[in-house]
Amino acid sequence: MLRHWNDVGVVVPDRTPTGHREYTDEHIARLRIVQACQRVGMSLPEVRLILTRSEARRSEVIERRLEWIRAQRAQLADAERFLTHVIECRHDLVTRCEDCAQYSALVPRFASRP
């Protein structure tokens, strides 16, 4: 993983005179940031763009990710309401419940990533 991140320019460590990679505290902090970004679904090219404030598309990438996170949060809230309703639903089949049917109409067919 570290070699790959080096190859794509996300975390490029210093080199010792013998050619070994040398990770400073700054590199370790950067590694943690990269992992945090990946946990929120960012690709390595996106991570590379946001690591430096001067990158032209930085804000665009971050805003797009925030929109995706907000959409995911809304979908999860809808799913939670639906499942909470299903627990208490008095219909013998959920397909006969108008509230359940309304939720199923809201669910996107495919969850997408930006």
- pLDDT at 101 (0 to 100): 77
Whether residue 11 contacts residue 5, with contact meaning beta carbons closer than 8 Å, is answered with yes
Per-residue pLDDT, averaged over 28-50, amounts to: 93
Q: What is the pTM of this model?
A: 0.69
Residue 61 lies in a domain: no
pLDDT at residue 91, rounded to an integer: 82
Confidence of residue 87 (pLDDT cuts 50, 70, 90): confident
Residue 62 lies in a domain: no
Are residues 2 and 48 both part of a single domain? yes
Domain that holds residue 104: 71-114
Task: Count other C-beta atoms under 10 Å from residue 11's C-beta.
Answer: 24
